[in-house]
Amino acid sequence: MHSHDDDDHSHLTDIEARVRALESLLSEKGYIDSASVDKIVQTYETNIGPQNGAHVVAKAWTNPEFNTWLKNDATAAIHSLGYTSRQGEHMVAVFNSADTHHLVVCTLCSCYPWSVLGLPPTWYKSPPFRSRAVIEPRAVLADFGVEISESITIEVHDSTAEIRYLVIPERPENTNNLGETELAKLVTRDSMIGTAVLDKLSATS
Amino acid sequence: MNGGADLGGMMGFGPVVQEDNEPNFHHVWEERVLGITVALGACGLWNIDQSRFSRESMQPADYMKSSYYQIWLYGITNLLKEHNMISETELESGQPSLPRVAIKRMLLPDDVMPMLMAGGPANRQEQTAATFSVGQQVQTINAHPSTHTRLPRYARDKTGVIKKIHGVHVFPDSSAQGLGDAPTWLYQVSFSATSLWGEDKNARDSVSVDLWQPYLKALT
C-alpha cells in the first residue's frame, strides 16, 4: 500500500482505486449523482456537528422550561431547535448529576447522534471503546483522563436501537454570569458522549 | 448473528486512542464511501437494518482489524452485488457490464438536504398495549440467531428492569431479513453491572440497553 499522502494519482492505494471505480460505475449507471455525494459530505463537514449539541446543552442550562421539555421529550425539544436530521430521529437526553455519570456507546456498530454531534470520532467506532465501555466504564474513562469516584453511579447506554442518547453535562461552576452563547462554547463533544466532564478550570480558561 | 460486530465485553483491544483535532475523514475515499452509502439509500432497495447486517457479515477477523469506512465499503459493495447493481468484474475493470436494475429513485443534489433533515423515523403506530411496564423485572431470551439481531451477546439470558418505554419501533430482526417492519414495543432495560459482569463490579453501576418486546420475558 502507498502512503495516503501521495498526491500522484497514478499511485492510488488499492482502496482509493476501488472507491473511485465504484463511484464512477454507480454514476455511469445512474444509481447516484456525484454532486449529491459532494453535498452530503459538505453538510457533515460544515452544518452538522457538535455545535448543535452544545446549543442544546447551553439552552438546557439556562432555560428551565426547555430543560424540563428535554427531560420529558428530548426528540421534540431538540427538533424544535431545527436539529431534526438523520440519526437523531428519536432522542433521549440523560443528565449528569452529583451522583450519576452517563456514558454512551454502541457496542454492535457505531450508532451516534449525528444530528447533534455530527459524525463520530474514530475512537467511538473502534473495538477498544465498543468492547470496554460496557464492562469497564471507569477504566475507559481513565483513558480520557476522567476519574469518577466509586461512590458515583455510572450508567452506560448501549445504543442498540434507533434511540440516540445525548449526555447533558453538569454546568461548570463559576459560569453564572455567562449567557447561552458563551456557555455553548464551553461544551465539548466528549462531554456530550460522557467521556469528559466540564470542570471549573475549563470554564474559566 | 454472533459476528465480529458484537464487541461488548470483549478484551484485549488495548486502550482507547484519541486523536487531537481529528478530522471527520482521514482520506478522500472515506468521504466518498459515506456519501455514496447515504445517497444509495434513496434507491429504496434496502433498509438500515439490511445495511447493518451487510456490514456485520464481514468475516470477524477482518471486521475487527478494519477501519469504520473499510467496513462501510464492504457493506455497501455487498448490498450492490446482492442486488446485481455492481459486480466484482466491473469493479476490477472499471467497465460496466451488468444491465441496469430498476431503482425507486436516484438522489438529486436538491433533494439532499430535505432527505438528511427528514431522516428515517423508526417509530410506528401502536396497535396493542405494551406488555411490560416501567419498574417491571424482565428476563432476556437466550437466542443465537444466525440472522441480524440487536440483542447483544452480553445481554442474553439476563435479568433487568424496564426503565423507559420508547414506543413501537421497527423490529430489526424482521426488517433485516426483508420480512417487513413487524413493529413492536421498544423498551430501555437497565441491567446492573454485577448481574452482567460479576460480583467484582461496582454494584451502583448499570448498563441500559434498548430492547424490543420479543427479546423479553416476564420474570416469574
Sheet containing strand B206-212, strands side by side: A100-105, A153-158, B206-212, B184-192, B159-169, B137-140, B216-218
pLDDT per position as a tens digit, A169-197 = 999 999 999 999 999 999 999 999 999 99
DSSP state, residue A171: P
Say what the pTM is. Answer: 0.95
Provide, as residue numbers in chain B, all residues whose Cβ is less than 8 Å from the Cβ of A132: 11, 13, 16
Q: Where are the domains of chain A?
A: 11-46, 50-204
Known catalytic residues of A are 106, 109-111
The answer to whether domain A50-204 has CATH 2.20.28.10 is: no
Residue type, A178: L
DSSP states along B105-136:
-PPPHHHHHHHHHH----B----S--SS-TT-
pLDDT per position as a tens digit, A59-86 = 999 999 999 999 999 999 999 999 999 9
The Cβ of residue B121 has, within 10 Å, a number of other Cβ atoms equal to: 14
Distances (CA, A) of A64 to A52, A58, A61, B207: 19, 11, 7, 28
- The answer to whether B134 touches B40, Cβ cutoff 8 Å, is no
Domains and CATH numbers, chain B: 28-118 (1.10.472.20), 137-218 (2.30.30.50)
The Cβ of residue B50 has, within 10 Å, a number of other Cβ atoms equal to: 20
- The answer to whether A174 touches A186, Cβ cutoff 8 Å, is no
Distances (CA, A) of B56 to A108, A127, A150, B141, B197: 9, 13, 35, 21, 24
pLDDT per position as a tens digit, B137-170 = 999 999 999 999 999 999 999 999 999 999 999 9
- Whether ipTM > 0.90 holds is yes
Q: Are strands B206-212 and A153-158 parallel, antiparallel or unpaired?
A: parallel
Would an 8 Å CB–CB cutoff place A81 in contact with chain B?
no
Angstroms from A82 CA to nearest CA on chain B: 9
Round to whole Å and give the CA distance between A119 and A43: 11
pLDDT of the residue at B9: 98
pLDDT of the residue at B101: 97
- In this complex, the residue of A19, A28, A30 whose CB is nearest that of residue B32 is A19
DSSP 3-state of A109: coil
Is pLDDT of A154 > 80? yes
Confidence label for A9 from pLDDT (cuts 50, 70 and 90): low
